[in-house]
Each structure stands twice: as C-alpha cells, then as structure tokens.
Amino acid sequence: MKALVIEDTVTSATLICHLLDKMGLQSVHARDGEIGIEMFKQERPDLILLDIVLPGFDGFEVARRIRQLERDGEWTPIIFLSARASDEDLARGIMVGGDDYLVKPVSEIVLKAKVRAMQRIAQMRYSLLVLTRKLDDANRELTRLSAVDGLTNIANRRCFDETLLREWRRAERRESPVSLLLIDVDKFKDFNDGYGHQHGDECLKELAKTLVSCLHRSTDLVARYGGEEFAAILAETDVEGALGVAEAMREAVITARLPHASSTVADHVTISIGVATVVPERRDENGYVGLILQADQALYRAKREGRNRVAVAETVRLTEAG
C-alpha cells in the first residue's frame, strides 16, 4: 500500500512518513499542491494525507482537483492535516471530497487507527466492485439465456418477436424491405413416431445448425419459432435475396442427409419454406403481423404443392409485377 503525503512543513512530513514506514506503508512526499497533483497522477497512491495550508493551491483545492482526476469507480481516501481543527475546516474538507481529518502534530496512535479505517473501507469498496462485476456478468448471461432456445441453442421465440419488431421499425424509417422466412420440417410428426422424440430433438439441433450456417450477415437471424418450425428475419433484403437464402437453406438440409425413412417426400429430412417480403409503410403499426401471415400462407402453399420447396407470398409477386 502506497501513501502520498502532501505537506509543506518538512518536520511534519518527515514525522508522518516515518510513522507510515513503521506501519509498513510505502510513502511519497510532495511539498506543495501542484507537485502533489502531479505525483497523484504518476503514483496512483492508495491513500493521501493532505495538508490544508499549502503554498499555491490550498488543500481544499488540491482535494477537489484530485477527485476530478479519479477514473470512474476509483476512490482514493484523503485524510486532511491541519494544525487547527475548526468545525468549519472539517466540514469544508469533507465537502470537497476528503474522508477524514487529523490534527497536527500527528499522534502515532490516531494516525494508525485512521489509516486502518481507510484500508478497511478501501477493502470493502474493492469487494463491492468485484461483486458488482460478477453481478454484471450474471445479468449479461441471464439476458443471453432469455433469448436462446434451450434445445437448439439458437434464438428463441421471444428473441424472434423482439428482433422482428426492431427490424420492422428500422425498415420503416429507412423505407427498406424486410424479409421473413417461415421454415417447417416436412413430416416431422412421422419422424418422431418412427425414431422417437430423442432423435427428434437431435434432428432439430442439426437443422438449427444447418440453417444458421446459411446466414451470412450479422443482422440476419434464425430462430426456433415453435415445435419443428423455424423462422428467419432478413433485414434490408428484397424478395430475390430472401429467395436465395431460402433455396440455400433447403439445399443445405438435403445435403445434410438426415435419414427419414417414413417421409413420403424423400428418404431424408426435408424442409418447406414460406417467404414474404415487405417494405413497411408508416402508420401501419401492426404491419409485421401481416408479414408473418403472408409468410405463413406461402409456407402452407409450399406444403400443399408437395413440400421440400420454397414458396413466395402472393402479394409480393403482385407488387413485383405491378
């Protein structure tokens, strides 16, 4: 532990440094406020003993400046030194950022007690900082967990809802398109009936990984929408871009060749995808609900037309044509 003694009276400074040394504290000495502030910057002491009457800046001004120099969360105990101990001086000393007060000539016993008290406070403060940091970490982890699907480890429904709303509003401001993909595993009930739910879970995990691998932009998000349904939000993506991603997902799942003996579509797992793209219009606050509906209708059509395919929402086609 290092102490900075800012004191212009040499005999007093020598005595204090000697006493600190006896207590096992390293000390540095500054003869006036200006040097004291410089030494504070260089040495970053754990404790400051600060005379009130100094040439140049007085102790109050030095304390005020030192408090301004401290970094966020940093706190260096300051004990004022003065030959006279008026109530006003004490009050003013605390007001400008001091923590305690010592009357000169300094008594060894009192100095020792006050230094110990400051060490104790510093220790408690440090523990509190460590605890606060741990709490911050825990909070961050909780936030992460609340957005992640427990089985597949990708975004969950809650995260999907929040992201869609956020991207919808952003797209509205920028007048840019936002695309939504609703993805359904073909004949998944039969998969579970044939292989059991545990294999069903493994299958969903594999599919989640495969779908994530098809996204390339940091703003793209794929989430578990519910059961065997996934959803992808593609910000600032027009219908061609969205179709490209959807087709890539469908092919990636085929390439993964996850066996599905009871499927009537293929001998492996396949997916159907509904695509919808909209440029949000202002005043259409719940427009994103319509986007989900469009993607859902497209998905239904992809299934009706034989599954293992991508279908685009009708309204988008009309918009494109017109």
Q: Pull the structure tokens for residue 78.
A: 């300051």
- Cβ atoms of residues 43 and 28 within 8 Å: yes
Q: Which stretch binds Mg ion (CB under 5 A): 2-10, 104-112, 189-197, 241-249?
A: 2-10
Provide the b/e sequence for 238-268 (b: ≥16 CB within 10 Å): bbeebbebbebbbebbbeeebebeebebeeb
Interface of this chain with Mg ion, residues 130 to 149, rule: CB under 5 A: none
Residue 79: its H or E element: strand 78-82
Binding mask 8-27 for Mg ion (x = CB under 5 A): x-------------------
Question: Applying CB under 5 A, which of residues 23, 35, 53, 148 lies at the interface with Mg ion?
Answer: 53
Residue 61 beta carbon to Mg ion: minimum distance, rounded to whole angstroms: 13
Q: Which two tokens stand for residue 260?
A: 């599905």
Distance, in Å, from the CA atom of 175 to the CA atom of 161, rounded to the nearest integer, reads 20
With CB under 5 A as the contact rule, the residue among 51, 149, 167, 186 that binds Mg ion is 51
- Closer to Mg ion at the Cβ: 53 or 94? 53
- Within 147-176, which residues bind Mg ion (CB under 5 A)? none
Residues 6+ apart with CB under 8 A from 192: 199, 200
Contacts of 74 (CB under 8 A, 6+ apart): none
What part of residues 245-274 is at the interface with Mg ion (CB under 5 A)? Answer: none
Amino acid at site 237: T
Contact window for Mg ion (CB under 5 A) among 1-9, 108-116, 194-202, 287-295:
1-9
Using the contact rule CB under 5 A, the part of the chain among 15-23, 43-51, 281-289, 294-302 near Mg ion is 43-51
Binding part of the chain for Mg ion, among 44-52, 203-211, 256-264, 275-283 by CB under 5 A, reads: 44-52
Which residues are at the interface with Mg ion (CB under 5 A)? Answer: 8, 51, 53
